[in-house]
Amino acid sequence: MILFDEIIFGPVKSRRLGNSLGINLLPTDAKICSFDCIYCECGFNTTVKESRLPHRREVQKALEKKLVELSEAGNSLDVITFAGNGEPTLHPQFEPIIADTIALRNKYFPDAKVSVLSNSTRIHKPHIMRALRQVDNNILKLDSAIEETVRRLDRPTGRLFSVPWLLEQLKKFEGNLIIQTMFLRGKHDGAVIDNTKEVELNAWLSALEEIRPKQVMIYTIDRETPVQGLEKIGFDELKKIAERVEAMGISTVVSG
């Protein structure tokens, strides 16, 4: 599967965010995540022995170098996005790295947004919450509001995680967040997985009513997945789901 081999990568054209410069806070030779999603383009989690995380100063130096290059070349930049080889909030220096990134953004590309793609598993930690409140696009995963589906689709690795727990944590942002949901169908380990079913959508929409995010990003499979036989959801079907969210007064972005 695809692993990012640098701290800074891109810019790339993001389906949801525009011209995006990526930041990978995880090792360049391993995937480390608190989920082990069956659809992740980086593959399944890696058993880590000697892989290392980049230090805060390494990230700062690499980011500034790239921003200077882009600025001097006259290139545009819509967003700086924390993504990469796993869950970015696992980095122990996540909060100061966010502060460094905002300062560099303000210096070189003040109109660009700072975004974090997170699976929501560490938002209960005060320093993660503080950091995520500082960014422009705090994008948090909610693939299903049904426990069994999350266990089969996202495969959380932590013992603390549950859907009721997650919803309570998401509500603490008081609407200052973006929910991101991957829709797909398929089979894994002999079980059918389909978060487009009506029972799934009703539970998910009820959860959105509780959370009241400022936006919902709806997307589907775009690249090869570690589990074979997963089905991409058509754009028209995604749009119909989005219309139900918009009827609640919540804006949506759809990526087919």
Read off the pLDDT of residues 194-232 as tens digits, 9 standing for 90 and up. 999 999 999 999 999 999 999 999 999 988 899 998 999
Confidence class for position 26, pLDDT limits 50, 70, 90 = very high
Among 157, 152, 227, smallest CA distance to 191 is for 152
**Strand ranges, E, within 128-219:** 137-141, 178-182, 184-188, 191-194, 215-219
Q: Is residue 3 part of a domain?
A: no
What integer is the mean pLDDT of 26-30?
90
Q: What are phi and psi of 38, to 5 degrees?
A: -75, -10
pLDDT value of position 29: 87
pLDDT in tens, 156-189: 998 889 999 999 999 999 999 999 999 999 999 8
Domain count, the chain: 1
Q: Mean pLDDT across the stretch 46-64? A: 88
**Residue 46 predicted with pLDDT over 90:** no
CATH classification at residue 204: 3.20.20.70
If one counts every other C-beta atom within 10 angstroms of the C-beta of residue 74, the result is 6
The answer to whether residue 177 is domain-embedded is: yes
For the chain, the C-alpha Rg in angstroms (whole number) is 18
Residue 80: domain span = 8-255
Is 220 part of a structural domain of the chain?
yes
pLDDT in tens, 85-143: 999 999 999 999 999 999 999 999 999 999 999 999 999 999 999 999 999 999 999 99
Q: 3-state DSSP call for residue 57?
A: helix
Which pLDDT band, with edges at 50, 70 and 90, does 17 fall under?
confident
How many CA atoms lie within 13 Å of 39's alpha carbon, on the beta-carbon side? Answer: 23
- Whether residue 2 lies inside any domain: the answer is no
Q: What is the pTM of this model?
A: 0.93
At 49, the pLDDT band (50, 70, 90 cuts) reads: low
pLDDT score for 18: 82
